[in-house]
Amino acid sequence: MTLPHPLLKLDQVRRHRAGRPAVERLSLTLDRGQILGLLGVNGAGKSTTLAMIAGALKPDEGRIELDGQDFATHPALARGLLGWLPERAPHWPELTVLEHLQAHARLRGLRAGGLKQACESTIERLELAPLLRRLAGVLSQGQRQRLGLACALLHKPRLLVLDEPANALDPVQVAALRKVIREEAAAGAAVILSTHLLAETTAVCDRVAILHEGRLRHDAALDGDHAALEHTFFEIAMNGKDQAA
C-alpha cells in the first residue's frame, strides 16, 4: 500500500538571513523510515533549512507540508509530530537534566503516567541516569548533545530533525547515536540530519542531499560508495567556491 503523501515536503522554499539568501527554492520530500543526510560546507543553509522544518523559522516563500498539511497554517502539528535537536543543543542552564526532560515532555503534551513513562524510557535509552540531578549549565558539550537528543526523542516523534547531532560526542557516543537513529527509522520515523562529516552520512543515511549556497545541488540514494560521495561533495563545494570567486 502506498501512502498518499510524504511525511515531509518542501516546495520551492526560500529564506533570507542577514540580508542574503540562505535557502533558495529548495524542494525535497522525505518518507517514513527514511534517513536523509543534509550535507554542505559551513554557511550552506543546512541549519536554516532544518530550523524552517522544525517551525522555528518561517520561509519567506514556498510551502512546507508535514503529514500532508501546510505547516504555516497548522504550526501546532509540530507538537506531537516533530522532534528537533538544534545546533549546539540550547538549554536552560539553571534547570537539571530531569527538569529539562519533564518540561519538554509537558510542552509536547505528555501528562502524568505518559510523561513519567516517556522520561524513564528515554533516560534508560540514552543512559542519562547519572546526570539527572546535574544542572544543564555545568554539563559538557557532549552531555548537552545527549540531553538535547533525549528532549527531541521523548514524545516519539514521527519526524526527527537533527542539526549536527554528533558534535562533541566521543566515538562511543557517536556509535550510540547511530544506533538510536537507525532504531527510530526502523520504527517508522523519518530522520533528517545535517552534518559536514561525510563519514557520518555514509554510516547511517540511506539518502543524501547536498546544499551549497542555499541551493540543493544533489539528492540521491546512498549506495555505500564513500569515495563517490566524497568526489561529488568536493566537486560541488569547490565549483561553488570557484563560481563565487
Partner 1 sequence: MSSMGSVARLELRRLLVRPLAWVLAALTLAQLAWRFVLLLGNFLDNQVKLAGTPGAPGYTDLVGIPLLGSTLTMGILPFGLTELALLVVPLLTMSTLAGDRANSTLPLLASSGTSPAAIVLGKYFAVLLWLLGWLALTVAMPLSLAHGTHMDSGKLAAAVLGLALTLAALGAIGVACSAFASLPAVAATASLTLGLALFTANLAAQKAGVGNGVWNWLSLSTHLEALLRGLVSSADLVWFALVIVIALALAIRRVATDKERG
Task: Name, in order, each residue with C-beta under 8 angstroms of 73's C-beta and a sequence gap of 6 or more.
Answer: none
Using an 8 Å Cβ cutoff, are 179 and 27 in contact? no
Please, which residue, 77 or 168, has the CB nearer to partner 1? 77
Instruction: Please identify, using beta-carbon distances, which residue of 91 and 156 lies nearer to partner 1.
Output: 91
Residue type (1 letter), 161: V
Q: In sequence order, what E strands does the chain have?
A: 8-17, 20-30, 35-39, 61-66, 69-70, 82-85, 159-163, 190-195, 207-212, 215-221
**Size of site (CB under 8 A) for partner 1:** 33
Q: How far is the CB of 175 from partner 1 (least distance, A)?
A: 27
Please identify, using beta-carbon distances, which residue of 43 and 219 lies nearer to partner 1. 43
Look-up: residue for cell 545535517?
A: 194
Q: Which is nearer to partner 1, 155 or 207 (CB)?
A: 155
Q: How far is the CB of 77 from partner 1 (least distance, A)?
A: 7
Out of 3, 103, 187, 228, which residue is the one contacting partner 1 (CB under 8 A)? Answer: 103
Task: Check residue 21 for interaction with partner 1 (CB under 8 A).
Answer: no
CB distance 200 to 29 below 8 Å: no
Choose between 6 and 55: whose C-beta lies nearer to partner 1.
55
Contact call for residue 231 and partner 1 (CB under 8 A)? no
Q: Is 119 in the site for partner 1 (CB under 8 A)?
A: no
Q: Which stretch binds partner 1 (CB under 8 A): 46-54, 124-132, 180-188, 236-244?
A: 46-54
Shortest distance (Å) from residue 237 CB to partner 1: 24
Nearer to partner 1, 48 or 201 (CB): 48
99-111 in b/e form (b: 16+ CB < 10 A) is ebbbebbeebebe
Cα four-point dihedral sign 137, 141, 147, 153: positive
* Cell numbers given for 93: 542552564
**Closer to partner 1 at the Cβ: 11 or 99?**
99
With CB under 8 A as the contact rule, the residue among 17, 25, 63, 178 that binds partner 1 is 17
**Interface mask toward partner 1 for 52-91; x: CB under 8 A:** --xxxxx----------------xxxxxx-x-x-x-x-xx
- Per DSSP, which regions of 164-214 are E strands? 190-195, 207-212
Distances (CA, A) of 137 to 74, 128, 129, 159: 33, 15, 17, 28
Binding site for partner 1 (CB under 8 A): 15, 17, 48, 51, 54-58, 75-80, 82, 84, 86, 88, 90-95, 99, 103-104, 106-109, 111
